[in-house]
Every structure is written in C-alpha cells, then in structure tokens.
Amino acid sequence: MEITCYRDPEIKRESRHLPANIYNLAVTLLARCPTRHLFVPIRSMQYMAIIDHEEFVFIDGERKCWIDLSWQNFRSHDRESLDQPVAYEAVYYREDLSIIMKHLHSEFPNALQILAKKERLEGPARIINFPEKQVQS
C-alpha cells in the first residue's frame, strides 16, 4: 500500500505518555513489517494509523490523505523498564481533536491487537541442524 500524506500547519503540541503495552506492541509489529511502514486500520473510528520508526500519524477516512494527529518524539530510552509508559509529543493539525485523541487511546490498542492476530510472518522458514555430540568411550 502506498499513501501520500499532507499536513496542515501545526495548531497545537502537547506532551503525553503512551502506555507501555501499546507502544511495545506497535514497535513489535513494525519490526515484523518488511516495508518499514505499518498501516493500522482503526475501523471503529474510520481512521488509519501509519506507523514508522519516527512517528505515528492518524488519518481520518473522510479526509483521506490529510494528517489530523501525529505522535512524535517518542522517548522510549528514557524509561527504566519495558513496562513503563513512553513519553511523546502529540501534534494537532486540526482544531477540536481532544475527543478524537481520547478515542484513539482506547481504540488504537484494539486495532493493534486485531492486526497482531492477523499478522503472519512471511518468508522461508529455516531449520538449523546442530551436529550431534560424539560421545567418546
């Protein structure tokens, strides 16, 4: 899939925290993706999330190619353990998206879980044969 995305001028930026389980799952799914861009349909909201190594962007199904929200500058290295939340910046490109942001924090994890269940690992399987130990008598 290929999508060209556009951004309006930034309206607002705020610091937030993403729960560890959501961030970890997104990064794990992205690592399994050969294209280095993960497309996550959030059907309950008619949104699409596009994840890469730098940011998560959210596109409304009605506006197609225009980014409404972006989650950027993840500071995963600042946490001391993998179960701690990850600080990031939410960037708003439209007015009045606070309700959408609230819904994203509940619906985005569900969409990731659905994708994780459908995701299959592609590519050839490899079996590594280890030579048997020779027992000396």
Residue 3 lies in a domain: no
Q: What is the DSSP secondary structure assignment for residue 35, as one 8-state letter?
A: T
Which pair of tokens denotes residue 116?
Answer: 């994780």
Residue 1 lies in a domain: no
- Answer yes or no: is pLDDT of 52 > 50: yes
For the segment 31-50, what is each residue's pLDDT rounded down to a tens digit?
888 888 889 999 999 999 99
For the segment 63-86, what is each residue's pLDDT rounded down to a tens digit?
888 999 999 999 988 888 899 999
Beta bridge pairs of residue 87: 17
- Answer yes or no: is pLDDT of 130 > 60: no
Which pair of tokens denotes residue 126?
Answer: 């490899």
Residue 49 lies in a domain: yes
User: Based on the structure, what is the number of domains in the chain?
Assistant: 1
Supply the pLDDT for residue 32: 85
Q: Which domain holds residue 79?
A: 11-118
Residue 42 lies in a domain: yes
